[in-house]
C-alpha cells in the first residue's frame, strides 16, 4: 500500500454546500486539488457560479448549483439530481449575537431553521442516497460552541450541539450501510460570519489571545480536516468531532463580548 493514495480523491463526486464563500469556498478548492469533481452549491447563485468558475480556471471539473438548505424539496432535488455522489460537505450557518432574554421568536426561528433544520434536510437527503448505494461520507460543520459557550451565543451553540448529535446518530444508523458521518469544530475563523467581531479591535484581539496559537485561523486551515474526513485515510473514522480550534478548548479563559 502507498499511504499517499489514501488521500487521493480522483474522480469522486463531492457536493460542497456553502461553497460560495469562506470555509466552503476554500474547501471546494482543496477537494478539487486532491482530484474530486466538486459541485459548488450555495444559496447565492452568483457565488456558486463564481466558485465553480475558479475551479475551471485551475483546470478542474466542477459544477455550480443553487440551493437553500431550509427548503427540504430543493435539497432533495439537488442531491438526487447529481449523476454521482461520493461525499457531502455542509458548511452554512447564521448567528444572532444577543443574550437569550433579548432574542425574539423570529430570530430564534431563523437561526434554528438554517443551522439545525437545514442541516437535518441535508443529512436526510444525502444519507438516503449514500445508504442506498452502500458507501459515502458526510462532513458537517459544528463548532467549538457545541462544547463551550459565552454570553450571546446560546441559540447558535444549541444548533451546533444539535448538529453534532444528529451526526453521531447518523453515524450509528448508517454505519452498517457503509456511510461515515463526521463533524468539524472550528474555532475563530476569519469569514463573513465573524465580521461583527473583526470590526471591534478589543473583541478581535481577545479571541486571538484565547487561542493557544494566539491568532485567528483562515478558511484554508480547515481544508485539511475536510479532505481527511472525506478520504479513505479516514475509512475507520465516523461519529467524530474533529477540533480545528488552535487549542481554544484546551485552555481556560473568557472574554465577555460587547453585546
Q: Which of 60, 156, 207, 243 is catalytic?
A: 156
What is the rounded CA–CA span in Å between residue 133 and residue 253? 46
For residue 83, give the CATH number of its domain: 3.40.50.720
Q: In the annotation, is 204 catalytic?
A: no
Is residue 238 predicted with pLDDT exceeding 70? Answer: yes
- In a domain, residue 257? The reply is no
- Maximum mean pLDDT: which of 39-43, 198-202, 210-214: 39-43
- In a domain, residue 259? The reply is no
- In a domain, residue 258? The reply is no
Condensed to tens digits (0 to 9), the pLDDT of residues 114-151 reads: 999 999 999 999 999 999 999 999 999 999 999 999 99
Classified as helix, coil or strand, 148 is coil
Is residue 231 predicted with pLDDT exceeding 80? Answer: yes
- CB neighbour class for 240 (10 Å; exposed up to 12, middle 13-18, buried from 19): middle
Instruction: Supply the pLDDT for residue 33.
Output: 98
Q: In which domain, by residue range, is 141 found?
A: 3-250
> Any residues with CB less than 8 A from the CB of 126 and at least 6 apart, and which?
15, 79, 85, 88, 136, 138
Is residue 255 predicted with pLDDT exceeding 70? Answer: no
Cell of residue 94, nine digits:
447564521
Q: What is the Cα Rg of the chain in Å? A: 18
- In a domain, residue 16? The reply is yes
Q: Which of 222, 182, 164 is nearest to 23 (CA)?
A: 222
Mean pLDDT over 78-104 rounds to: 97
**Helix, strand, coil in percent for the chain, rounding step 5:** 50, 15, 35
> Any residues with CB less than 8 A from the CB of 198 and at least 6 apart, and which?
190, 204
Classified as helix, coil or strand, 41 is strand
Mean pLDDT of the residues in the chain: 96
Condensed to tens digits (0 to 9), the pLDDT of residues 153-196 reads: 999 999 999 999 999 999 999 999 999 999 999 999 998 778 88
- In a domain, residue 256? The reply is no
Cross-strand partners of 136: 179
> Any residues with CB less than 8 A from the CB of 103 and at least 6 apart, and which?
96, 154, 155
| Portion of the chain with pLDDT greater than 90, in percent | 91
Q: Which of 191, 141, 189 is nearest to 161 (CA)?
A: 141
- For cell 465580521, the residue is 195
- CB neighbour class for 105 (10 Å; exposed up to 12, middle 13-18, buried from 19): exposed
- In a domain, residue 28? The reply is yes
- In a domain, residue 156? The reply is yes
What's the Cα-to-Cα distance from 210 to each of 202, 236, 251, rounded to whole Å?
12, 32, 8
Spatial contact of 56 and 68, defined as CB atoms under 8 Å apart: no
Per the structure, the count of domains in the chain is: 1
Q: Which of 243, 235, 245, 33 is nearest to 137 (CA)?
A: 235
Amino acid at each position: 500500500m502507498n499511504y499517499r493514495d489514501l488521500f487521493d480523491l480522483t474522480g469522486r463526486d463531492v457536493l460542497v454546500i456553502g461553497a460560495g464563500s469562506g470555509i466552503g469556498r476554500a474547501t471546494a478548492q482543496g477537494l478539487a486539488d486532491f482530484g474530486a469533481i466538486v459541485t459548488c452549491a450555495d444559496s447565492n447563485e452568483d457565488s456558486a457560479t463564481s466558485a465553480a468558475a475558479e475551479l475551471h480556471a485551475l483546470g478542474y471539473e466542477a459544477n455550480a448549483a443553487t440551493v437553500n438548505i431550509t427548503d427540504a424539496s430543493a435539497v432533495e432535488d439537488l442531491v438526487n439530481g447529481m449523476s454521482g455522489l461520493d461525499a457531502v460537505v455542509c458548511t452554512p450557518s447564521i448567528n444572532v449575537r444577543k443574550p437569550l432574554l433579548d432574542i425574539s421568536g423570529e430570530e430564534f426561528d431563523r437561526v434554528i431553521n438554517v443551522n439545525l433544520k437545514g442541516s437535518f434536510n441535508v443529512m436526510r437527503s444525502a444519507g438516503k442516497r449514500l445508504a442506498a448505494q452502500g458507501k459515502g461520507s458526510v462532513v458537517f460543520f459544528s463548532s467549538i460552541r457545541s462544547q463551550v459557550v459565552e454570553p450571546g451565543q446560546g441559540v447558535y451553540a444549541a444548533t451546533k450541539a444539535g448538529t453534532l448529535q444528529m451526526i453521531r446518530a447518523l453515524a450509528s444508523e448508517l454505519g452498517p450501510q457503509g456511510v461515515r458521518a463526521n463533524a468539524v469544530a472550528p474555532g475563530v475563523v476569519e469569514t463573513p460570519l465573524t465580521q461583527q467581531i473583526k470590526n471591534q479591535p478589543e473583541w478581535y484581539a481577545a479571541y486571538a489571545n484565547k487561542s493557544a496559537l494566539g491568532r485567528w485561523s483562515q478558511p484554508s486551515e480547515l481544508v485539511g480536516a475536510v479532505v481527511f474526513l472525506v478520504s479513505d485515510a479516514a475509512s475507520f473514522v465516523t461519529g467524530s468531532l474533529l477540533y480545528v480550534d488552535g487549542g481554544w478548548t484546551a485552555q481556560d479563559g473568557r472574554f465577555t463580548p460587547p453585546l
